[in-house]
Structure 1
Amino acid sequence: MKKIKNSILAIVIASLTLSSCTDNFEEINTDPNRLDAISPSTLLNPILYGVTNHNSYSAYFYRNAFLMQTIVPFPSDVEERYDRYHVTENIGTTMWNNHYRWLKNIEEMLVASEQAADPNYKAVALTLKAWCYANLVDCFGDIPFSEASKGELGITNPKFDDQREIYKTIFEYLEEANAIYDSNKKSNYTADLLYANDFTKWRKLTNSIHLRLLLQVSDAQPAISFQKINTMLTDAATYPIFESNADNAILINTGITPNITPWPRIQDFRGGARKLSTFFIDNLVAMDDPRLPLWATKAKKDNVEIGYKGIPSGFFGNESLIDYAPSEPNDAQAKTPMKNFIMTYAEIEFIKAELIQKGLIAGDAQSAYEKGIIAAIETWGVKVPTTYFENPKNKFNNTLEQIILHKYFALHFTDNQQWNNFRRTGYPSMPLVENIHNNGIMPSRYPYPPNIKQQNRNEYIKAVENMGGDDMNIKIWWDIN
């Protein structure tokens, strides 16, 4: 079996130090360079750390946050920026490289779990595989899948599979994972960074991701999706999902090497080049939301605080056009212990609220909506004010627009999920501003990275022909609105 790269192995070994010194390290044999000497558990922590930290650092902070009007570059004297819907062919390069890097190791984890006859680690690997491939499909469309990560078989130019077929297999992975978890089988391996080997919670994550993805593709295949959604929501014994914030899939960066935050310098999180948008700030102010001081600094004028005040997305010009220092991202979010979000209970309640509001499942939409907001706020360690739902901005009005607006804030710091929800629903309603590119139309996807076009050109051309192009306006298969 092939050797693991030294850089990966270094992270693997380092991840073991995150547990107490009494942990049993004898799961690693005398030859640490070979995969067949490493347990599936040893591979898990580096995968979790690598993907979640990328999604917080790059997928959210440098792409989603610009597209979804959280962050505005400042000063803004360069027109070609993502907040102005100017998407370059490099926008998704780190997303592509990071995910395929770790998908290779997820494949190794699958093999190791099968060799160890451990169904729980196989279920976790299938869940991670489904999650990572869904992330890639949702950003690019057709991608290498069935022939990906098979260089040892001589496949150096893998074909791009049709995104619909990939999603079909993703759902099969999640179905299989849910079915093979064994709650009676305990793990003696090093505790994983997410759930410390609690496979009951891992199973809930598997099904919660399944539910998220079913809703995401529901407009493209309503009959199939809603039938499965109803099955899952009415059979908790077979399909357990998140029930409270205790189930949240949030990886915490402790600050203890190697589990440090992805920001090499914490000042880069805020810095002088990033301000918060008026859309982001004004909505939180109108909601009287207790998360605002956790996420934003106060604006200043003449070095005196003037409350929370952002700048318009798409703003074009230098500092002289703004007579105050706008609110910035609060760097406390990036300091340890830092939260890296995969999925939370709040998202489950917002999914239910949307489905009920649309008349697709039975239940109380207001109750689900309020539970989603409460859970989302409490995830950040603060309480919901007793008068929160008396505020007209927060009082349930039974519209999808309101549900998705509050879900937008619940998804803060969660990879590309705000962008995914916007493409699917058209909400939240964000102001169009001057100096915006692409006729004010939100980009629908990332173009393929330049190196892929060069290194795998023949298969790239086939994929482009299948999708109808490779620009940012080519829609992902589930984006039919």
Structure 2
Amino acid sequence: MKKGIVYIWITALAIGIAASSCTKDFADINTNPNASPHALPETLLSPALVSLVNSNLNRAMRISNDLMQVSVTVSESREFHRYVIRPTESDYMWSNWYVQLTNIRDIYTSASLTQQTGYQTYQGISLILDAWVTSMITDMYGDVPYTESNRGKEGIIQPKFDSQKDIYLDLFNKLDTANVLLAKNVDLPNATTADPLFAGSANKWRRFGNSLFLRLLMRASGKAESGAVAKIRKIVNEDAGNYPIMTGNEFSAVLPIGAATPLQSEFALYRDLDFSGGKGYSEFFINNLNAWIDPRLPKIATALGLGGGYLGITSGYGTGNAPEIMSTYLNTLKTDPHLGNIMNYAELQFILAEAAVRGYITGTPKTYYDNGVTNAITFWQATVPTGHLDKEDVKWNENVSQDEKIEQILLQKYYTLFFTDFQSWSEYRRTGHPVLPIGPGVQNGGKMPSRFVYPINTQATNPVHYREAANAMGGDNINAKVWWNKPD
């Protein structure tokens, strides 16, 4: 009981939303030393990345994969595949994201104070990671604490909630600033351990930041007030020389997690039964890969019987009608570094393909699409089969409607986002693609949930600002639309 209370208060303090009765002595006792403003940035970066990627993997497996029909859980107690998300699910990611956001912002402050070699690069890295983490928070909840968040040390313990529109516009500013800082091209000294993502390469961090910029701009592109379309055009066509982006898989942002510490995967210590038991791949996920004769299948899924084929099961099955599990996750995925994906080159190519189809940029959609398909396969160290891009279910079709082209792009992108936090779910909410079958037991009126509700702890410790945010969102429920998903 006491451990549970301490955990709640530590989390609330890190986010800056602890109750006003939280005393200074309590805060001093329970402050995470890694979050100290005096900590050097190189001591904060790697632990923050590992924590974030592993937290994302945990919930991708538990929630997002089932919602998006990657997998299907056969336990009746977990109904995500039926579009049921209970309020108790909201706290885990909120807490983990906000705690690491404190460390990320401390990287910026510490770099400013120390003025050591590469401090501008650490500042740029901090801004990119701030944009990444904050975008996940606001995409999954909507209006959230931002300008006053993570400021408990300043006495702000009940922060206001900012509108998602304002948050996105400020994230764009942060990514622009990061691009300028990293243009100085100062690599981090002795950063192989401190920076497990890009080993201190300012150039790779800059390309990741601008590619992430395009992800967020595309997400906001349906809102004219965001200015996203003009910015996409500027980055890709008008001022590309000043906005370098990923140009190959070697620039992908993938944390090389595995079996050993300090880069130990979330799943490394799972028993095989806990990882691959109790759920199987869905029919939708497996059937497309079967149709494409996709070489990624043997790298991620178990084959059945002597024939070595792959089968999925029905998502959204009715209560009491759990199907027999067929193909499951390969247990080698538990320590596969590909699951450390934050953003890869193939995703960027599909973003550019969609932008070209919508007329946001010049360029040939087929070229971007083909690059995406090819690099999504080679990302997994698999060989692209001869004639793969000419297969009936793979080849680019210029003679269909815009919506059908978007479906083709987003279907391929769906597989590229395998185990990548909640990106596939966010893309589905934004576009309605890929089109997913609706099972007979699906609830929530057959509608894909639009967000997480606010955590119960937040409702209790910041009630005034919580109610303001809930009213602004149109109600605190899983069907309330976030800003970029609301119809004009």
- TM-score, length-scaled by structure 2: 0.87
Quick one: which amino acid aligns to residue 68 of structure 2? Answer: M
Distance of aligned partners of 1:5 and 1:443 in 2 relative to their CA distance in 1, 3 Å threshold: farther
Distance of aligned partners of 1:475 and 1:436 in 2 relative to their CA distance in 1, 3 Å threshold: same
| Runs of 5+ unmatched residues, structure 1 | 13-32
Contact 1:56 1:341 survives alignment (8 Å): no
* Among candidates 199, 204, 207, match of residue 204 of structure 1: 207
Q: Provide the residue aligned with 1:224 in structure 2.
A: 227
* Among candidates 108, 111, 121, match of residue 110 of structure 1: 108
Q: Provide the residue aligned with 2:242 in structure 1.
A: 238
* Among candidates 267, 271, 277, match of residue 272 of structure 1: 277
**Which has the larger displacement, 326-335 or 198-207?**
326-335
Deviation at 1:223, TM superposition (A): 7.4
Distance of aligned partners of 1:365 and 1:256 in 2 relative to their CA distance in 1, 3 Å threshold: same
Q: Provide the residue aligned with 2:482 in structure 1.
A: 476
Quick one: which amino acid aligns to residue 453 of structure 2? Answer: P
Q: Provide the residue aligned with 1:69 in structure 2.
A: 69
Contact 1:269 1:334 survives alignment (8 Å): no
Deviation at 1:315, TM superposition (A): 1.8
Q: Provide the residue aligned with 1:342 in structure 2.
A: 342
The equivalences for 1:47-126 within 5 A come to 47-58=48-59, 60-74=60-74, 76-78=75-77, 81-117=79-115, 118-126=119-127
Distance of aligned partners of 1:72 and 1:462 in 2 relative to their CA distance in 1, 3 Å threshold: same
Distance of aligned partners of 1:34 and 1:248 in 2 relative to their CA distance in 1, 3 Å threshold: closer
In the aligned structure 1, how far is the partner of 2:274 from the partner of 2:485? 32
The equivalences for 1:49-448 within 5 A come to 49-58=50-59, 60-74=60-74, 76-78=75-77, 81-117=79-115, 118-191=119-192, 192-221=195-224, 224-234=227-237, 235-263=239-267, 264-268=269-273, 270-300=275-305, 307-316=309-318, 322=323, 325-337=325-337, 339-398=339-398, 399-448=405-454
In the aligned structure 1, how far is the partner of 2:290 from the partner of 2:235? 37
Deviations 1:276-298 (CA, angstroms, capped at 9, x unpaired): 10000111101111101111112
Contact 1:349 1:372 survives alignment (8 Å): yes
Contact 2:90 2:453 survives alignment (8 Å): yes
Contact 2:183 2:206 survives alignment (8 Å): no
Q: Percent identity?
A: 35
Query: Which secondary structure state, in structure 2, belongs to the residue aligned with residue 275 of structure 1?
Result: strand
In the aligned structure 1, how far is the partner of 2:395 from the partner of 2:155? 59
Q: Name whichever structure is richer in helix by fraction.
A: 2
Deviations 1:344-367 (CA, angstroms, capped at 9, x unpaired): 111111111111122232111111
In the aligned structure 2, how far is the partner of 1:227 from the partner of 1:392? 35
Deviation at 1:305, TM superposition (A): 5.5
Deviation at 1:299, TM superposition (A): 3.4
In the aligned structure 1, how far is the partner of 2:361 from the partner of 2:174? 25
Contact 2:275 2:334 survives alignment (8 Å): no
**Which has the larger displacement, 223-232 or 136-145?**
223-232
Contact 1:260 1:336 survives alignment (8 Å): no
Deviation at 1:271, TM superposition (A): 3.2
Quick one: which amino acid aligns to residue 114 of structure 1? Answer: S
Contact 2:220 2:226 survives alignment (8 Å): no
Q: Provide the residue aligned with 2:45 in structure 1.
A: 44
Query: Which secondary structure state, in structure 2, belongs to the residue aligned with residue 473 of structure 1?
Result: coil
In the aligned structure 2, how far is the partner of 1:61 from the partner of 1:163? 26
Deviations 1:307-336 (CA, angstroms, capped at 9, x unpaired): 2111110123568x74x6411111222225
In the aligned structure 2, how far is the partner of 1:336 from the partner of 1:239? 31
Distance of aligned partners of 1:56 and 1:113 in 2 relative to their CA distance in 1, 3 Å threshold: same
Deviation at 1:52, TM superposition (A): 1.2
Contact 2:338 2:380 survives alignment (8 Å): no
Deviation at 1:270, TM superposition (A): 3.3
Q: Provide the residue aligned with 1:28 in structure 2.
A: none
Quick one: which amino acid aligns to residue 462 of structure 1? Answer: E
Query: Which secondary structure state, in structure 2, belongs to the residue aligned with residue 215 of structure 1?
Result: helix
Query: Which secondary structure state, in structure 2, belongs to the residue aligned with residue 93 of structure 1?
Result: helix
In the aligned structure 2, how far is the partner of 1:413 from the partner of 1:4? 37
Contact 1:411 1:418 survives alignment (8 Å): yes
Distance of aligned partners of 1:415 and 1:346 in 2 relative to their CA distance in 1, 3 Å threshold: same
Deviation at 1:261, TM superposition (A): 1.0
Contact 1:218 1:226 survives alignment (8 Å): yes
In the aligned structure 1, how far is the partner of 2:250 from the partner of 2:29? 36
Quick one: which amino acid aligns to residue 100 of structure 2? Answer: W
Query: Which secondary structure state, in structure 1, belongs to the residue aligned with residue 232 of structure 2?
Result: helix
Distance of aligned partners of 1:131 and 1:436 in 2 relative to their CA distance in 1, 3 Å threshold: same
Deviations 1:388-446 (CA, angstroms, capped at 9, x unpaired): 12211101114111111011111112111111111111100110111111111000111
Contact 1:51 1:102 survives alignment (8 Å): yes
Query: Which secondary structure state, in structure 1, belongs to the residue aligned with residue 255 of structure 2?
Result: strand
Q: Provide the residue aligned with 1:29 in structure 2.
A: none
Quick one: which amino acid aligns to residue 376 of structure 2? Answer: A
Deviation at 1:274, TM superposition (A): 1.0
In the aligned structure 2, how far is the partner of 1:408 from the partner of 1:352? 15
In the aligned structure 2, how far is the partner of 1:258 from the partner of 1:244? 27
Quick one: which amino acid aligns to residue 286 of structure 2? Answer: I
Deviations 1:132-163 (CA, angstroms, capped at 9, x unpaired): 11100000001111111111111111111111
Query: Which secondary structure state, in structure 1, belongs to the residue aligned with residue 227 of structure 2?
Result: helix
Distance of aligned partners of 1:130 and 1:5 in 2 relative to their CA distance in 1, 3 Å threshold: farther
| Runs of 5+ unmatched residues, structure 2 | 1-23, 399-404
Q: Provide the residue aligned with 2:5 in structure 1.
A: none
